[in-house]
Amino acid sequence: MNVLAGVMIVLGFGFILAGVIGILRLPDFYCRLHAMGKCDTLGVALLIGGLAMSEGFSLASAKMLLVVAFVTLSNPTATHALGRAALRAGLVPWTRTGGEKGS
């Protein structure tokens, strides 16, 4: 049980790290949304799920599982809202053929 919890926590950290690297490396706002919306959702779910597992069955772990549920619901929603707002504001997505390097 503790081994599984440890694996989950380490994997969660790994995904969050990948998300951060993605935000730094990807070419434009829309691509960064992918890194933020996906890696962070899974990373946080794994990390807090692992913590809940090492805690065992208690009120604290139930709260952690609630946090996981709310993060997995709200993170994709926020990702979509940000992307839509950027699109409405007229931010043109970067493309490989477009030539110019986005910020």
Binding site for other proteins (CB under 8 A): 14-15, 18-19, 21-22, 25-28, 30-31, 33-35, 37-39, 41-43, 59, 62-63, 66, 76-77, 79-80, 83-84, 87, 93-96
Q: Tell me how far apart the alpha carbons of residues 6 and 63 are, in angstroms, rounded to a whole number.
A: 19
Q: Which is nearer to other proteins, 7 or 66 (CB)?
A: 66
Minimum gap (Å) between residue 28 Cβ and other proteins: 7
Angle at which helix 2-25 crosses helix 40-55, to 10 degrees, equals 160
Give every CB contact of residue 65 below 8 A, 6+ residues apart in sequence: 48, 49, 52
Give every CB contact of residue 103 below 8 A, 6+ residues apart in sequence: 28
Q: Which is nearer to other proteins, 5 or 65 (CB)?
A: 65
Q: Which is nearer to other proteins, 37 or 50 (CB)?
A: 37
